[in-house]
Amino acid sequence: MGRFLVTGGAGFIGSNFVRLLAESTDHTITVLDALTYAGNAASLEGLPPSRCRLVTGSVADPELTQELVADSDVVVHFAAESHNDNSLRDPSPFIRTNLVGTYTLLEAVRRHGTRYHHISTDEVYGDLELDDPAKFTESTPYNPSSPYSATKAGSDLLVRAWVRSFGVQATISNCSNNYGPYQHVEKFIPRQITNVIDGIRPKLYGAGLNVRDWIHVTDHNLAVLRILEAGQIGETYLIGADGELGNKRVIELILELMGQPGDAYDHVNDRAGHDLRYAIDSTRLRTELGWEPVYRDFESGLAATIEWYRANEGWWRPMKQATEARYAAAGQ
């Protein structure tokens, strides 16, 4: 391997991936990140400058991606517009980054014969009923609900086509909901933690019956490294840690862990087209590649995440006010 190009490496999962890579290997790492509202150079502070550099620019820029891919052995593509609520307000950046950006990168790796790993989401499969015994597997049909998940589904299909038609050396992973440090305060868990710190009551969409399948961001990134080591070219791997939990219960847990009454939250407007439940069957990743989650206890992982937000107010404070203003305008 050697020279990694990590797109979206100043975002939540990407910055955790860059830290893991810098700590556990001696590879050189170039981060390509547009530093949108969701990207933050501060998430990469403290990394060794001799091996890690940040290039500010877009994955949808063909000259820049050709130039950076030409100097790389492996591309891991995290960059995306990632928030469902934003995609309901304005889908256009989702089309540009998630579809055109992925196409642009695929053309670059095709030209240079570079190994490519595509980071995607379980949302491409749509949602499940609460009482459905089935979980998503690699053969579940695509059925995305939101503009965000539709663009992620489209980007996955571009990768599959570039593998089959042009022999691109690619793998794909579809992961469930991540939690951990450096996650933007627009997302469910950090929004509620920082609300409680600020004395604002947590906000639960609708009745809060929706279920998400939580995984610690480090477990996601360890699975990506394992796929890069041993995954079969052209194959898809689902990543999940059996972490299904209702949104209402997650809010209650955050409140309890932060010393507040478990019912001290508000119900707010529901999300349009809100997916009810996600659940991942990660048998393939476990049996074929031998991956297992390290963070098996959601409650202690959540407690550590709360501590991280308490200790790193300087990181999230600049984003908090504008984020809450956007939610207030939507009655959320």
Beta carbons of 24 and 89 less than 8 angstroms apart:
no
- Determine which helix (DSSP H) or strand (DSSP E) holds 35, and give its type and residue range: none
For 29, the 3-state DSSP assignment is strand
Q: Would residue 148 show up in a list of annotated catalytic residues for this protein?
A: yes
Edge to edge, what strands does the sheet with 236-239 contain?
Answer: 52-56, 28-33, 3-7, 74-77, 115-121, 170-175, 236-239
Rounded to the nearest whole angstrom, what is the least distance from the CB of residue 155 to ligand DAU in the complex? 12
Rounded to the nearest whole angstrom, what is the least distance from the CB of residue 43 to ligand DAU in the complex? 16
- Contact range with ligand NAD by CB under 6 A, out of 10-18, 108-116, 189-197, 226-234: 10-18
For 252, the 3-state DSSP assignment is helix
Q: Would residue 131 show up in a list of annotated catalytic residues for this protein?
A: no
Distance CA 184, CA 330 (A): 18
Residue 184 interacting partner from ligand NAD, ligand DAU, none (CB closer than 5 to 8 Å by kind): ligand NAD
Distance CA 176, CA 270 (A): 21
Angle at which helix 188-197 crosses helix 298-311, to 10 degrees, equals 50
Out of 182, 278, 295, 298, the only residue in the binding site for ligand DAU (CB under 6 A) is 278
**193 to 222, contacts with ligand DAU by CB under 6 A?**
203-205, 210, 212
Q: In sequence order, what are the residues at sequence separation of 6 or more whose Cβ sits closer than 8 angstroms to the Cβ of residue 241?
A: 176, 213, 214, 215, 216, 219, 282, 293, 295, 296
> Does 82 contact ligand NAD by CB under 6 A?
yes
Catalytic residue among 103, 116, 125, 148: 148
Out of 8, 68, 76, 123, the only residue in the binding site for ligand DAU (CB under 6 A) is 123
State in Å, rounded, how far the first CA of the chain is from the last one. Answer: 45
Signed CA dihedral, 330, 196, 40, 239: sign only: negative
> Does 58 contact ligand NAD by CB under 6 A?
yes
Catalytic residue among 33, 81, 116, 122: 122
Out of 119, 253, 254, 258, the only residue in the binding site for ligand NAD (CB under 6 A) is 119
- Contact range with ligand DAU by CB under 6 A, out of 131-139, 156-164, 185-193, 223-231: 185-193
- Contact range with ligand DAU by CB under 6 A, out of 30-38, 76-84, 220-228, 294-302: 76-84
Residue 255 interacting partner from ligand DAU, ligand NAD, none (CB closer than 5 to 8 Å by kind): none
Signed CA dihedral, 271, 274, 276, 277: sign only: negative
Beta carbons of 145 and 126 less than 8 angstroms apart:
yes
**Residues identified as active-site:** 122-123, 148
Binding site for ligand DAU (CB under 6 A): 82-84, 121-123, 176-177, 187-188, 191, 203-205, 210, 212, 247, 271, 278
Binding site for ligand NAD (CB under 6 A): 7-8, 10-14, 32-36, 38-39, 58-60, 78-82, 97, 101, 119, 121, 152, 175, 177-178, 184
